[in-house]
Amino acid sequence: MPYLFTPPEPVGLPISGTADLFPVHRVYCVGRNYAAHAREMGNDDRDPPFFFTKPADAVVPNGGDIPYPPATSDLHHEVELAIALHKGGADIAAADALNHVYGYAVALDLTRRDLQGEAKKQGRPWDVGKGFDFSAPCSTIRPARDIGHPTSGRIALEVNGEVHQDGTLDEMIWSIPETIAILSGLFELKPGDIILTGTPAGVGAVTKGDRLHGTVEGVGEIDISLT
């Protein structure tokens, strides 16, 4: 049957070494998955993982110029390793989880921290603080067949050339296989799902005109400018 109007185009992320695009299905995010970041946000670093989502069309392939979002005066940067799945499933065993991973990318979880903070106080969902337009810039995907499955290496973010976040992937509280296993017990994962794996300490506010440069050693980098 015909649609009432033309459906939106799917979001596609470029893949290193190929002209193919990776079709994004959903974006899942792990909250407070680095101990130092959990502590800087006033939480226990031994808390079990929790998840929130962003819409697929919040993804900005390869970054570039991004408008400063409305309704906030406290936009924060969070650099993250992103997992790209090419196989789905429910109740995936941690021992099998990496077989579901196509590759990895560098992402930014941009956050309207003031709106998120107000939602926390009132016991409301975080959607307005996390799931807004252009809130998930993501780099080119590097296939796992080329780079393996990263478990260590530097993850960092610079603002206007100054380092604000600087950590290593082995500081994650919950590993990549553990994260996939736990998440697949809550949702049936699908090919095209992207999982943002948390951010190291050092998150902070950015303003119009700032230039952000995120890197994950062995995976890639992403640049955005706030306009």
The answer as to whether 17 is a domain residue is yes
The answer as to whether 222 is a domain residue is yes
Question: Which of 217, 23, 218, 216 lies closest to 106 in space, CA to CA?
Answer: 216
**Percent of the chain having pLDDT more than 90?**
92
Q: Calculate mean pLDDT across residues 56-68.
A: 98
Average pLDDT of the residues of the chain: 95
pLDDT (0 to 100) of residue 64: 97
CB < 8 Å & 24+ apart, contacts of 174-179: 174/30, 174/33, 174/49, 174/198, 175/94, 175/151, 176/83, 176/97, 176/98, 176/101, 176/149, 176/151, 177/94, 177/95, 177/97, 177/98, 178/49, 178/94, 178/97, 179/30, 179/33, 179/49, 179/83
* DSSP labels, 149-187: ---SSEEEEEETTEEEEEEEGGGBSS-HHHHHHHHHTTS
pLDDT (0 to 100) of residue 37: 63
The lowest-confidence range among 48-52, 114-118, 196-200 is: 48-52
Res. 43: pLDDT tops 80: no
Per-residue pLDDT tens over the stretch 1-17? 899 999 999 999 999 99
pLDDT (0 to 100) of residue 45: 63
The answer as to whether 2 is a domain residue is no
Q: Calculate mean pLDDT across residues 36-61.
A: 81
Which range of residues forms the domain containing residue 137? 12-48+57-226
Res. 42: pLDDT tops 70: no
pLDDT (0 to 100) of residue 57: 97
The answer as to whether 4 is a domain residue is no
The answer as to whether 6 is a domain residue is no
The answer as to whether 149 is a domain residue is yes
pLDDT (0 to 100) of residue 44: 62
Q: What is the pTM of this model?
A: 0.96
pLDDT (0 to 100) of residue 138: 98
Write the CATH number for 98. Answer: 3.90.850.10
The answer as to whether 23 is a domain residue is yes
pLDDT bucket at 36, cuts 50 / 70 / 90: confident
Res. 38: pLDDT tops 70: no
Per-residue pLDDT tens over the stretch 142-176? 999 999 999 999 999 999 999 999 999 999 999 99
**Percent of the chain having pLDDT more than 70?**
96
The answer as to whether 221 is a domain residue is yes
pLDDT (0 to 100) of residue 121: 96
CA dihedral 195, 172, 160, 129 (to 10 degrees): 50
| Number of domains into which the chain is organized | 1
pLDDT (0 to 100) of residue 48: 80
Per-residue pLDDT tens over the stretch 102-155? 999 999 999 999 999 999 999 999 999 999 999 999 999 999 999 999 999 999
